Amino acid sequence: MTFDDLPDVTIARNLLRRWWGLELGLSEVGGGGYVRKSHAVCETIHAAAPEACAGALAEIAAEFASSKRREPVTRQCHAGLVIVAAPVFGVQGLTGVVYASGARPADRPIEAIAEGLSAIVGSPAEARTMASAAPAVDDGDLVRVRDLVASAAAAVERVQPAVVAPTTFSHPFTEIVGEAAAVRDVVKLLGKVVKSEATVLVHGESGTGKELIARAIHYHGPRAKKPFVVQNCSAFNDNLLESALFGHVRGAFTGAVKDQPGLFQVADGGTFFLDEIGDMSAALQVKLLRVLQEGTFMPVGGTKPVKVDVRIIAASHKDLVTMVAHKQFREDLFYRVNVLKITVPPLRERVSDIPRLAQFFVAKHWRAAKGAGAAAAPRLSQSALARLVAYPWPGNIRELENEIERMLVLAGDAAELTASMVSARVAGGAHGVARALRDVIATAEADAIVAALGRHGGDRDSAAQDLGISRSYFDARSAALGLGGSAGVGANA
């Protein structure tokens, strides 16, 4: 699929043309490909100074390559016109720049633009005509133009074979994979948390990697050489959990034939990770509060308190604030565990990390199955990645890892993981779940187009007129939404 055929590119181009008279293009890193799609004014300028036009885009590309920034930028070219550009990254780094060109800043007089153009085209009269023809964009317009250019650049990244951007976000927590803004916030906070001894509350949906965060805190902190103990508070009933946490003495209950230390004693000097603390009973919450406040607890059936030095990291997928309000969780305990809070984002809020996480799990499970000296791991095809990116992942990272492991088993010794290896659940969910406003809008558009065609017996000209849009735009949207037709096709379907 070429740049011009991508649905999101078609949408962005049509909107840029209709609203501002701008054109959308894709440039190579060195500025090549500039004339693929350019505004009429830019075509004239390019004919007079092709090297300068390519150089303007090459400078923007160099800026993206060095800064590794992914946000679109607004710059002025050598002719004084506006260029809005967004980067396209691949495995090997920057692979191109998507740009919109041909506008003049609304706050710059036409005379100033004409003066710059006259040095290029050689004719003051022609320069003024060109400057007058260039559409004016203000700051509000540029915000929307940047969004559309960024959307088109993201579409290119999703379909190119080298879809994963290089890792540019360095940090000491190598076990945490990802570069999304939400992940960067977590890593930034971790850098401060690991230096303290305070209690930490990790909040996030199931499967988001809360234990991974807890391990990062422990193994990058001052207790790294001491024990790291994990207990899921929803795994046992009340009596078994109490015994597991605090231990018991001989004769405390039937079957207690000897003293048994609890996990708090095992974790002495180190870190104790209490997962799903929201499932702990009220009685055990009282005992945990005592450990947090005084560092002591009483074993089941014991008469002498045991003192421990343990850093506690608690985690829950539940909203503890709401539980406190409904008297389901002790308020005093909540304030003790909520000294430092880290919220782990769900995978649907860090979609840009899915390709990188998928490749990470491919490498991880390939090594585990084949050994360190095995051949290179299979690559993920772009069609398989597209399905993985489109799926909402209700089970978060854990579900993604399980899916990749399953695909590797099906692949055997194949060199590529293809879309046919993606499970029916993921493939179906990728097409059947609306996850963003764009999906909702696309569904509404498709319904409106189908209904209009039905009202007019399939006559596309009449359907377009009924919807209040041009026939070319009707065909473009139909093609983008998979309803048949293409821009510029005149025959009725």
Judgement on whether residues 262 and 383 belong to the same structural domain of the protein: no
Of 432, 457, 472, the last residue of a domain is: 432
Judgement on whether residues 228 and 322 belong to the same structural domain of the protein: yes
pLDDT at residue 490, as a whole number: 29
Consecutive 10-residue runs of the chain (493 residues): their mean pLDDT?
A: 69 82 78 44 51 73 84 81 84 78 79 70 70 80 87 74 47 79 90 92 95 93 93 88 89 79 93 95 93 92 90 95 94 95 92 85 84 74 79 92 91 83 80 51 66 70 85 75 42 32
Judgement on whether residues 194 and 310 belong to the same structural domain of the protein: yes
pLDDT at residue 324, as a whole number: 95
407 in a structural domain: yes
Of 345, 372, 393, the last residue of a domain is: 345
Judgement on whether residues 95 and 143 belong to the same structural domain of the protein: yes
Judgement on whether residues 133 and 215 belong to the same structural domain of the protein: no
Nearest residue to 101 (alpha-carbon basis) of 11, 37, 9, 28: 37
112 in a structural domain: yes
pLDDT at residue 259, as a whole number: 85
Judgement on whether residues 267 and 413 belong to the same structural domain of the protein: no
pLDDT at residue 144, as a whole number: 86
pLDDT at residue 13, as a whole number: 83
Count the domains in the chain: 4
Judgement on whether residues 42 and 143 belong to the same structural domain of the protein: yes
Judgement on whether residues 368 and 458 belong to the same structural domain of the protein: no
pTM over 0.85: no
pLDDT at residue 156, as a whole number: 79
pLDDT at residue 162, as a whole number: 37
Residue 382: which CATH number? 1.10.8.60
pLDDT at residue 163, as a whole number: 38
Judgement on whether residues 89 and 114 belong to the same structural domain of the protein: yes
493 in a structural domain: no
- Find the domain containing 468 and state its range: 437-480
Judgement on whether residues 338 and 427 belong to the same structural domain of the protein: no
Residue 30: which CATH number? 3.30.450
pLDDT at residue 493, as a whole number: 32
487 in a structural domain: no
Judgement on whether residues 306 and 405 belong to the same structural domain of the protein: no
Residues 397/207, Cβ–Cβ less than 8 Å: yes
375 in a structural domain: yes
Judgement on whether residues 316 and 224 belong to the same structural domain of the protein: yes
